[in-house]
């Protein structure tokens, strides 16, 4: 895959610890309520972000969204029993939507040059959500590993049928 001229680094964009600390201090100084997602979304055994709450390095998974918004709700009102209530049954197509989200996350991560273990985890979660995406996953893996420009491959054409995948795979076509 080729990268756009504006992307010169393989390091994904993120707020540094210094910026995060300054934002927290600003909220405290202004008397604002603060939901520190670094704590809310941490794995209790390591203190590091729990991968189950993320699609990739920053985009929240559905369970991450629920966890984050429940923390916001607690900040706005006292905790109640409803904080532990299940989110509700899947609607038809929800698992496919989540699977495609993980595939798109893998596209985005690949575009940023993330390591193969990150991509493998995202793809494994996608297939666990909906095994039918394994065809799309095979296309993505072929695209990432075949060593020729992406746009020369049939996998590229198939993946770019999804508007959101094309956004990552063909960022200069807007």
Say how far residue 89 (Cα) sits from the centre of its chain: 22
What is the Cα Rg of the chain in Å? 19
Q: Is 33 exposed, middle or buried (0-12, 13-18, 19+ CB in 10 A)?
A: exposed
The three-state secondary structure class of 101 is helix
The terminus-to-terminus CA distance of the chain in angstroms comes to 17
Question: How far is the C-alpha of 170 from the C-alpha of 4, rounded, in Å?
Answer: 9
pTM: 0.58
**How does DSSP classify residue 49?**
B
Task: Identify the CA nearest to 102 among candidates 125, 118, 70, 72.
Answer: 125
Strand partners, 42: 49
Kindly tell me if the per-residue pLDDT of 7 is higher than 50.
Answer: no
Kindly tell me if the per-residue pLDDT of 4 is higher than 50.
Answer: no
Mean pLDDT of the chain, nearest integer: 79
């Amino acid at each position: 895959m080729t990268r756009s001229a504006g992307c010169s680094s393989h390091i994904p964009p993120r707020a540094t610890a210094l910026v995060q600390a300054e934002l927290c201090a600003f909220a405290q100084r202004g008397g604002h309520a603060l939901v520190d997602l670094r704590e809310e979304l941490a794995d209790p055994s390591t203190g590091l972000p729990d991968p189950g709450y993320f699609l990739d390095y920053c985009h929240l998974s559905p369970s991450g969204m629920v966890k984050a918004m429940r923390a916001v709700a607690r900040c706005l009102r006292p905790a109640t029993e409803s904080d532990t209530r299940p989110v509700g049954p899947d609607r038809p197509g929800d698992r496919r939507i989540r699977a495609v989200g993980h595939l798109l996350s893998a596209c985005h991560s690949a575009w940023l040059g993330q390591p193969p273990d990150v991509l493998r985890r995202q793809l494994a979660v996608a297939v666990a959500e909906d095994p039918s995406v394994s065809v799309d996953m095979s296309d993505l893996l072929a695209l990432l590993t075949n060593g020729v420009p992406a746009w020369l491959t049939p996998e590229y054409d198939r993946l770019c049928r999804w508007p959101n995948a094309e956004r990552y795979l063909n960022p200069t076509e807007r």
